[in-house]
Amino acid sequence: MTKRNFLLIVAVFLTFISCKKNSESKQTSAENTTNLPNYGNVDLGNVFTKEDSQLGDKGILTGYIDQYYKKIWEGGDLSGGILVAKGYEILYENYRGFGREGNQMPIDKNTPLHVASVSKTLTAMAMLKLVEAGKIKLTDHLTQYFPGFPYPNVTVQTLLDQRSGLPKYEYFIAKIQPAPAELSKAFITNQDILNMIIKYKPELARDTDTGFMYCNTNFAMLALLIEKITKTPFPQAMKEMVFQPLKMEHTYIFQEKDIPTAAQSFYYGGNRLYPLDRLDLIYGDKNVYTTPRDLYNFSKAMFSKDFLKPDLMQMVFTPYSNEKAGMNNYGLGFRMKIFDNGEKLTYHNGWWHGTNSVFAHLLKSKVTIVAIGNKYSGKVYTALALSGLFEDFPAQKDKLHSVMNDNKDTLNAGHEVFGE
């Protein structure tokens, strides 16, 4: 080969690479093009320091997590996926089971599963991005956005911190007599819930901002607010604001069109399908379908200094319900446990039908723990106890010891909030 021909080949190759990169860049830019406030400013490759990913006893620790997986997940015949990561390093990841009945859709790292109430963390962060952009205020009252809304003291923040006192839609709609026309539909919507609140004015479950009361209605209303502010359907708004910018490529909001293809959930102890019901298309409080790896991206982003302004980010993990003594509390879309030693565990669990989920975002150790099960079992929630391997959470260390030693009495002790 002559020198001239060699140089020609090199030039052609470099031109090809350059064109390919430009094409990929344009494609990424096109995908992230949106007029909505979004998390596109977060560089997932520039979040952690080298030290954030380091672990002195990595081999021992990952071996212990593998023992946990074999005992609880394989031994308990759980179905779904689990991921444990520190900084940029995935320490442990495993999948088993099937997404659809008839042993269809083997679950792997790319299989979106319903995460139920873990969805609330994503809804909350979308709302806070709108707050940061000045599109809405935490102190805004819902009456400003929903004419006829019968509770004048309910604000955006009391939805986010679960202090609104709103009645739970799962229950109040069933008590209305005669039954509203909406309940004759196969599936009711978020707007149906709002319409029934305005028309029938059910009593508040407790006075607004007088105490904590976990309620799915709060996040169903937040989804409607996001739609109203962005003038975009919630599934598309979440895609443009959160999922695409954070490269959550296997994440979406479940809609009726997804029923034939989406992963399903099952009763424990067999392959009996958990059927859908009329509440299954309500979103904001649930209906994010995602993977452990996508939630890991979400967690990585939340560790970034560019995720939200510092004062707003600090509010996310501030405990707002302090009327009663105890370790359990709630921030803005996140649960937390504040232990006697002052350490704070920030997380959210989920439960809906046959779905159980855990998402832990450990602030000091930069650790992410994700567990998603689609064959009902409370054992999925034991994944939260793995947090005791990374930070000084005495109760979680005790719980993990109990789990690994079959001490069921200790495991079930106390007033643990599992599924929501």
Q: Render pLDDT for 131-162 as a digit per residue (tens, 0 to 9).
A: 999 999 999 999 999 999 999 999 999 999 99
Domain extent at residue 67: 51-134+234-411
Residue 220 domain-assigned (yes or no): no
Across 20-28, average pLDDT = 41
Q: What percent of the chain has pLDDT over 70?
A: 89
Say if residue 2's pLDDT is above 60.
no
What CATH number does residue 261 fall under? 3.40.710.10
Per-residue pLDDT reduced to its tens digit, 361-412:
999 999 999 999 999 999 999 999 999 999 999 999 999 999 999 865 333 4
pLDDT tens per residue across span 209-247: 999 999 999 999 999 999 999 999 999 999 999 999 999
pLDDT number for residue 30: 37
Does 217 reside within a domain? no
Give me the mean pLDDT over the 37-49 stretch: 97
Do the domain assignments include residue 250?
yes
pLDDT classification of 23: cutoffs 50, 70, 90? very low
Residue at 297 is within a domain: yes
For residue 226, tell me if it sits in a domain.
Answer: no
Overall domain count for the chain: 1
What pLDDT is recorded for position 106? 98
Residue 38 located in a structural domain: no
Q: Is residue 89 part of a domain?
A: yes
**Domain membership flag for residue 124:** yes
**pLDDT digit string (tens) for 240-278?**
999 999 999 999 999 999 999 999 999 998 789 999 999
What local confidence, expressed as pLDDT, does residue 269 receive? 82
pLDDT in tens, 314-359: 999 999 999 988 999 999 999 999 999 999 999 999 999 999 999 9
In 3D space, the residue among 112, 108, 76, 110 whose CA is nearest the CA of residue 265 turns out to be: 112
